[in-house]
Amino acid sequence: MSGPPQPPRRPAPEAAGTSTRLAWLDVLRGLAALAVVFDHISYYVLQHVRHIVYHWFDPGNYGVFVFFIISGYIVPASHERKGSVRTFWVSRLFRLYPLYLLAVGIAVALYFAHLGPIRGENSDPATSVLSQLLMMSNVLQGKNLPNVVWSLSYEMIFYLLLTALFIARVHKRSSWYALGFAAAAVAIGGLLPQAFFTHNVATPRLIALVADLVVLAGLAFAVVLRGMSRLLGAAVAAVVAIALLAFNSSWIWPWEALSILALMFTGTMFYRAEQGQYPWRRAIAIGVTVFGLAIASGLWHSRAWGMPAHAELLWSRRWISAFTLAGLTFAAGLAFRHHLRWPKVLTWLGLVSYSLYLLHPLVIEVYHHFYPSRQHTFPVQVLIAAGLLTLIIAISSVTYLCVERPMQGLGRRVGRRLDARFGPDRMPAAVPAREPAMAGRGHPAAE
């Protein structure tokens, strides 16, 4: 379906290493990043190619689904490896916020230079700041500045939920959570409202303020305190996050948001299978079930849109193919992770993919400002697309080397200093969780 450019559907990736063990994840990120960039560049060039591709496949959805699975796979692994709530949140702070603040600053600068819009943010700056303070703008009725940061809302909700599960020592029941969110997407995803709190309870500014204060207080309890107070704080923050996802999402539908969490916990489940904590046969069976439920939720609930028959057919085809190919892509990477020599170009794209994600819409916006015409011959469009892609990768490489990587290193040093000053913040190991009976019998191996 045609329309104005939409924000790319992908989450912020976890910092990838350069080791062979993680190279396959970088390759998948690189492929996903290319799919997202094509999705947005093709609004202005290569429109004919876009028209053909979109008859069968949505590269933007494909890219974001791959990114969310990867995030679900690697972020809980990082959390458990650190074994510390404090260290995890320090690493998240230094991983995400420096580039995020830079992107916001560039977007504002472009606006004042009359080179790009900021999509209504100036109409209520206070609400904008409050809604984006915790990167949860898409569930707090923010305008998403830059517009791509809507997906970080669901990444942040995942982190808050993980923290509560980790402190409660029930974080290893990943398959239950994946199945639960996927089933909820089908059963109640079409019944949940959008923006309920901000339309019926209070003003967007007040809702954002209260949500920020409660989540920050809950995180403070989880990071600083111990015992039951720590668990209570983490639980309150997680409950607020889930309530916002279920009742106050704006740009995406509730069943999409629930499907996103199902995908992320499916990625976590595959990590556990790789670590020997779950039998692979169970993990594969549950993964296929989750993907089937997520596809079914879209096909079922999209009927409420009242699309014409042909439009509904095209949308259904794209929804199914994007989910299916995303799952197959992740499965292929997982299957061949130890058997292939991965191209360095793609692994580098994976390393810089967070910069690429936040900054590529700004580059495209500037291009569109100076060259608004879309009437070019096909060879010229190919050259323009190649030039834009090269520029985007070059800028992203610079920001990765000059902003992301140094700040990640600083975050590790800050974490070590906090450990030295206040003592290690380690959680006791959890009892391995049992798997759902539907997937087979037996106990998973101990971690």
The distance from CA 30 to its chain's CA centroid, rounded to whole angstroms, is 15
**Residue % of the chain over a pLDDT of 90:** 64
Q: What is the pLDDT of residue 431?
A: 42
Q: Could you state, in chain order, the average pLDDT of each consecutive group of 10 residues for the chain (447 residues)?
A: 43 44 88 92 91 92 94 88 88 95 90 72 74 91 81 94 94 94 96 92 93 96 90 96 94 94 96 91 96 96 90 94 96 89 90 94 91 85 95 97 96 92 70 39 31
Q: What is the pLDDT of residue 177?
A: 97
Q: What is the pLDDT of residue 433?
A: 41
Q: Within 13 Å of residue 244, how many CA atoms lie on the same side as its CB?
A: 32
Interatomic CA distance for residues 131 and 129, integer angstroms: 6
Q: What is the pLDDT of residue 428?
A: 54
Q: What is the pLDDT of residue 445?
A: 29
Q: Minimal CA–CA distance to 347: which of 22, 11, 10, 13?
A: 22
Q: What digits encode the pLDDT tens for the residues 293-335?
A: 999 999 999 988 889 999 999 999 999 999 999 999 999 999 9
Distances (CA, A) of 203 to 119, 126, 208: 19, 12, 9
Q: What is the pLDDT of residue 139?
A: 93
Q: What is the pLDDT of residue 4?
A: 42
Tokens of 378: 């096909």
